[in-house]
Amino acid sequence: MKKTVFNNKGFTLIELLIVCGMLGIVMGAIFTLYQTHQRSAYTQEEVVEVQQNLRIAMDSITRDIKMAGFLTPLPQTVTAPLNAAIANSITINTGAEAGVYARITANTPSIVGNTSFTVDSVDNFANGDSVRIIRPQDGSEPITGPLTVNAPPAAPNLTIGTTAVVDYLNGDIVVRTTNNALNPNTIRYFVTTTGACPTGQSCIARRTNEGTLDVDTQIVANNITNLQFSYILDDNTENNAPTDLSTIRAVRVTITGQTVTTTALSGGQAKTRQIASIVRIRNRR
């Protein structure tokens, strides 16, 4: 008689439950690790953005402070490089808020009409631009502007509509400005939550020619929590709001930024970064 042999190899229900439980624990640990790294990556990405915003803002402020006093009328006690200087805002006087200018390279008598000036560069000038022609020795304008570029620039010539007969000199400076903006132009930096600043954030704004008919406000950087200025004077003291603006020789700029959109991923704690620099005013006269 043939004996029947049964194969009893396999897993019991208890063994399967144990394996499923262990697998669940492992998968839970892997998911937790993945979620932690994902949150860290998202947070770090915004931290990098904050740091980049701080550098962009500092570069813009530094560039404009270095232009403070450029081609402004003398005496400095009347037209100082800085127009206003307080702890959380700065206003700069400059002959060219856009930073676009060219030097006249030949003595040129103007006429009533279009005058063609030979200049060292026509880059960044265009037909229809408003310009001023400023004498750098004293910041004066032989013809009170703004004037207008009346033809497409063709190097090395710049054709400008002039309203009087004046002898312009080699070394006089043509600066691009905005229509109706006063001389000097002004640039103000401050923190704002309005305009093009994203909802729920604070931003650094750059406003040009405030108080005149031409006011342009640009958002320089977002994710900003604080902007502070401190002013270093000729006697080496430092003041947050000096009364004599002509004695300011350098500006300490401190900008603080923090994460916003990923704060919840960091346990409700925003990541904060700060940058600081001392900028010397180069155009004091």
The DSSP result for 170-207, as a single string, is: TT-EEEEE-TT--SSEEEEEEEESSTTSPTT--EEEEE
Model pLDDT, residue 56: 96
Mean pLDDT by 10-residue block, N- to C-terminus, for the chain (285 residues)?
A: 61 78 82 67 80 96 95 86 96 94 97 96 96 94 93 96 96 92 93 91 94 88 95 96 95 94 74 95 89
For the chain, domain boundaries? 45-94+184-280, 101-177
Q: Which stretches within the chain are classed as H helix?
A: 13-66
CA distance 94 to 73: 9
The model carries a pTM of: 0.83
Give the separation between CA 51 and CA 61, rounded to whole angstroms.
15
Q: What is residue 57's predicted lDDT score, i.e. its pLDDT?
A: 97
Question: What would the two tokens of residue 219 be?
Answer: 């958002």
Question: What is the reported pLDDT for 34?
Answer: 67
Query: 215 is written with which tokens?
Result: 């006011």
Query: Topology of 101-177 in CATH?
Result: Thrombin, subunit H (2.40.10)
pLDDT of residue 211: 85
Residue 236's pLDDT is what?
94
